């Protein structure tokens, strides 16, 4: 028998439990549906998914548990009191990615353009606090127009709370920002404080001041994508770590990244049973890397040959291309790979390469990910622009990151390793646990040509045939100080290995170092070079 719904005559609300539950389900259905079909169609017309479509792609099916769904703002003025949609423009909660808990907040651009107000911010604050307390990664899906102007300083204070929490969570839980729309002003600073930034080409932008403000102040005319699009931040500014053509691919790659990371800084990354034999020989390496140090090659091919199944996720692939930073697995366990790239600027270190590698090493160290370094570096990039740009302090960032890292560190010298760049790239002298070299290695202060010109300058100048004397002195210097076994004879390299055994040797060394523990001096924190 169907019972009639009894209403409270004073409020017009149902008074029995069934009526109240029906009312609740109706409110939830409205919140899930969003503000209107028109707003949803407008979102799709821009080539963007709705907030809940994005969450379905990010999280395991049926795992999302939302909180704060019925939250509404309490602001008045400027017509806000008549527009009080549930969720207040941000969806918060948690779910799983490959079965592991992940906390998430996601802007709903259909409500107030995703702009942040007081209630909106408090929902984000709560989910960030929960992520840290639970020791689980935090993913933000950003599609918001910045601070809600109608709420004034309350909105700005909300951003301050987010920035403070981003900073406190840094190095404690992985933080990933996914940019899926225009994010200006304060909305751009929170992603900059997180570990990784993902962007989608054409539909996502990041900038502090938009094109209209830029034109008003400087007279420069530029589009949103030209100012802060995915390509700009992936190639020029280095703000974006990963850029993709569409949201589906982007969110799939976020899931892949999370599969490589630990839940927090107290855990190790998840291990998987390796399908790739740990003792697989890498015969291809013998032909892939030319013994002639002046001939370029693609270091990516070396990485593919060595790591499990040839799979790796390159970070900042399109920025500072003279160095590669990537996450991969060796023997089923996650590692961070830092490698010079001879195909770009001959693999030299410059300002951007040093910054890119330094932050990557710091991230790996914070989250217990061993670091493997592959060296083929002729030195630091010379030039006035580099010196005036601060190559000294920027290069020191990479030096500081390696010296400060306590995770297992293994390095391999493939060919050239010259001067200060050799020292900076995790040499044994700055704390690498184990260092190897191929028989093609050249470890020295500088190349034989330059060294001979300095050391034997007078003899060359006084010779009857300076050119012949220079050739003779170059050969003499190389045979005395640059032969492949010079460093290992002096204990600066632990072993010279067959390149084909590189994979097996690395896996063995990392297995031996798995329980490594390092005691650091008691201090509040260091003061790294800026």
Tell me the catalytic residues.
Answer: 185-186, 420-421
Phi, psi (degrees; rounded to nearest 5) at 183 = -130, 110
DSSP state of 225: H
Strands 100-107, 90-97: parallel, antiparallel or unpaired by DSSP? Answer: antiparallel
Report the run of H or E that residue 38 belongs to, with start and end.
helix 37-45
Whether 466 and 460 have beta carbons less than 8 Å apart is answered as yes
Rg (the chain; Cα; Å): 28
Given a contact cutoff of 8 angstroms between Cβ atoms, the answer to whether 118 and 158 are in contact is yes
The residues, any chain, with a CB within 8 Å of residue 164's CB and separated by 6 or more, are: none
Burial of 202 (0-12, 13-18, 19+ CB in 10 A): middle
**Quick one: DSSP state of residue 236?**
I
- DSSP tag of 116: B
Burial of 63 (0-12, 13-18, 19+ CB in 10 A): middle
Which of 185, 197, 260, 208 lies closest to 230, judged by CA?
A: 197
Residue 238: other Cβ atoms inside 10 A = 17
Contact 182, 202 (CB under 8 A): no
* Measured CA distances, 293 to 281, 304, 425, 434, 455 (Å): 24, 21, 18, 24, 21
Q: Helical H runs in 49-134?
A: 51-58, 118-134
Q: What are the backbone dihedrals phi and psi of residue 19, each rounded to the nearest 5 degrees, phi first? A: -65, -40
Per-residue b or e along 280-312, where b marks 16 or more CB atoms closer than 10 Å to that residue's CB: bebeebeebbeeebeeebebbebbbbbbbeeeb
């Amino acid at each position: 028998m169907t019972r009639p719904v009894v209403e409270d005559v004073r409020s017009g609300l149902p008074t029995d439990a069934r009526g109240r539950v029906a009312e609740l389900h109706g409110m939830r259905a409205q919140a899930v549906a969003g503000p209107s079909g028109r707003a949803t169609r407008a979102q799709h017309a821009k080539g963007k998914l709705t907030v809940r479509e994005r969450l379905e792609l990010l999280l395991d099916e049926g795992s999302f548990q939302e909180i704060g769904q019925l939250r509404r703002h309490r602001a008045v003025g400027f017509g806000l009191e008549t527009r009080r949609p549930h969720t207040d423009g941000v969806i918060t909660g948690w779910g799983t990615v490959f079965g592991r808990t992940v906390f998430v907040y996601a802007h709903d651009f259909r409500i107030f353009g995703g702009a942040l107000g007081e209630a909106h911010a408090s929902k984000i604050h709560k989910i960030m606090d929960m992520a840290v307390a639970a020791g689980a990664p935090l993913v933000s899906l950003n599609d918001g127009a910045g601070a809600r102007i109608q709420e004034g300083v309350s909105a700005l204070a909300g951003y301050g709370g987010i920035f403070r929490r981003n900073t406190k969570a840094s190095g404690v839980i992985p933080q990933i920002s996914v940019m899926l729309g225009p994010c200006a002003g304060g909305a751009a600073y929170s992603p900059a404080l997180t570990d990784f930034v993902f962007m989608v080409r054409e539909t996502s932008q990041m900038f502090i001041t938009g094109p209209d403000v830029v034109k008003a102040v400087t007279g420069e005319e530029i589009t949103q994508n030209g100012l802060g699009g995915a390509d700009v931040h992936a190639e020029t500014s280095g703000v974006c770590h990963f850029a993709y053509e569409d949201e589906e691919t982007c969110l799939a790659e976020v899931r892949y990244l999370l599969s490589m990371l630990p839940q927090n800084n107290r855990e190790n990354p998840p291990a998987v049973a390796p399908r790739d034999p740990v003792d697989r020989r890498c015969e291809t390496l013998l032909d892939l890397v030319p013994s002639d140090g002046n001939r370029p090659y693609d270091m990516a091919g070396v990485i593919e040959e060595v790591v499990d199944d040839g799979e790796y996720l390159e970070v900042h692939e399109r920025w500072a291309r003279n160095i590669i930073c990537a996450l991969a697995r060796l023997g089923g366990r996650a590692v961070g790979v830092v490698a010079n790239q001879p195909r770009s600027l001959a693999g030299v270190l410059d300002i951007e390469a040093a910054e890119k590698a330094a932050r990557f090493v710091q991230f790996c160290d914070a989250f217990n990910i061993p670091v493997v370094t592959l060296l083929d570096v002729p030195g630091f990039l010379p030039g006035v622009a580099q010196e005036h740009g601060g190559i000294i302090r920027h290069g020191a960032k990479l030096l500081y990151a390696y010296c400060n890292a306590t995770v297992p560190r293994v390095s391999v010298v493939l060919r050239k390793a010259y001067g200060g760049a050799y020292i900076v790239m995790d040499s044994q002298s700055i704390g690498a646990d184990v260092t190897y070299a191929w028989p093609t290695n050249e470890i020295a202060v500088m190349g034989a040509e330059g060294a001979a010109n300095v050391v034997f300058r007078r003899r060359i100048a006084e010779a009857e045939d300076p050119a012949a004397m220079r050739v003779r002195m170059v050969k003499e210097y190389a045979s005395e100080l640059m032969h492949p076994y010079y460093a290992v004879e002096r204990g600066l390299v632990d072993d010279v290995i067959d390149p084909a055994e590189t994979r097996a040797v690395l896996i063995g060394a990392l297995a031996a170092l798995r329980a490594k523990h390092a005691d650091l001096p008691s201090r509040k924190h260091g003061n790294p070079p800026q």
